[in-house]
Amino acid sequence: GQNIDQPTEMTATEGAIVQINCTYQTSGFNGLFWYQQHAGEAPTFLSYNVLDGLEEKGRFSSFLSRSKGYSYLLLKELQMKDSASYLCAVRDGDYKLSFGAGTTVTVRA
């Protein structure tokens, strides 16, 4: 099966930077996604990486290294509303999407 690992929880202060790492071992690779899920709400799409490098979208950036099976999501200038669960998901060689268990980020004032 596919193996996707990310930390369970992270805590940071408002205005700070937090980096959420995701490592994966899959049979083939066709892209990596990050989703944000607030408690009681739908997961929403944040970013997609299929080539190595950094994708920047405002305060959020996502990085991918395919050779290392590694990605991170960088959240800058943290705001209280960024407190949520962040899900890493990998599409394998058969285009099947597998999710990690999610990282709960708590932003403190």
Partner 1 sequence: ETGVTQTPRHLVMGMTNKKSLKCEQHLGHNAMYWYKQSAKKPLELMFVYNFKEQTENNSVPSRFSPECPNSSHLFLHLHTLQPEDSALYLCASSKEDGSSGANVLTFGAGSRLTVL
Taking the least distance from each CB to partner 1, the nearer of 73 and 78 is 73
Give the other-Cβ count within 10 Å of 27's Cβ: 10
Minimal distance, residue 79 CB to partner 1, in Å: 21
Q: Taking the alpha carbons of 64, 65, 66, 68 in that order, is the dihedral positive or negative?
A: negative
- Find, among 55, 64, 67, 56, the residue nearest to 89 by Cα: 64
Taking the least distance from each CB to partner 1, the nearer of 103 and 107 is 103
Q: Interface with partner 1 includes 67 (CB under 8 A)?
A: no
Taking the least distance from each CB to partner 1, the nearer of 5 and 14 is 5
SS3 52: coil
Interacting residues toward partner 1 by CB under 8 A: 4, 8, 30-31, 33, 35, 40-45, 48, 50, 87, 89, 96-102
